[in-house]
Chains A and B, each alone.
Chain A
């Protein structure tokens, strides 16, 4: 049983396309993280959000706590966005221990 489900698993897009990655989770949470893992392996925390929407540059993350669903959008995608995007939710009633989605591997073609 996966507490966090992501879709799609793999995504190939042309440069400039609008991209959406989805995350559904089964546990009650107060916040959710979106992480980016580059081909070299390093992980960067993109967003932590507990409600509504956050925007950083071309990245937008939304969350609906009632529906237990979050989306990560990339506008005007670029080859440098090629990475694995991982959704993470904290264990209930804990601090910073997380369930992780299996990730969405994004390739943006020039």
Chain B
């Protein structure tokens, strides 16, 4: 157990639907990062939150949004789902602010859109 908890582990849903993925960071970590891993794109950075505030956006679609709550857990919301959104979604956490320091991944949520 890495200390970063992601739920659910698996999710199957239909096109057009909306889902919420949840991430609880490792105790003490203030930063949460979301990544998408698809077969054709590899790992792609989506978004970074630090202590409740959005710090950076990567290749995140407008249909996707995220937030980090006061208890530091984060949710990634995916709406109007398309078949191409099927992927593994990882979150990672770190103490934050220091490049690469204490970076821990969760085990991922496998999303299948049918």
Contact = CB atoms under 8 A, between A and B. Distances in A.
Interface of A: 30-31, 33, 35, 40-45, 48, 86, 88, 90-91, 94-98, 100-103
Contacts of B56: 94-95, 97
A35 B105 contact: yes
Nearest to B31: A96
B88 A41 contact: yes
Contacts, number: 67
A97 B103 contact: no
Contacts of A98: 43, 45
Prevailing SS type, chain A contact patch: loop
Contact of A44 (B42, B97, B105): B105
Contacts of A86: 43
B21 to A, nearest CB: 14
29 contacts: A30-B100, A31-B99, A33-B100, A33-B103, A35-B105, A42-B105, A43-B90, A43-B105, A43-B107, A43-B108, A44-B2, A45-B104, A48-B101, A88-B43, A91-B45, A94-B99, A95-B31, A95-B48, A95-B97, A95-B99, A96-B33, A96-B92, A96-B96, A97-B33, A97-B48, A97-B58, A98-B43, A100-B42, A101-B42
Contact of A30 (B42, B43, B92, B99): B99
Interface string B40-75: 001111001010000110100000000000000000
Contacts of B88: 41
Contacts of B100: 30-31, 33, 48, 90, 96
A58 to B, nearest CB: 20
B42 A103 contact: yes
Contacts of A30: 99-100
Nearest to B108: A41
Nearest to A38: B107
A97 B43 CA distance: 11
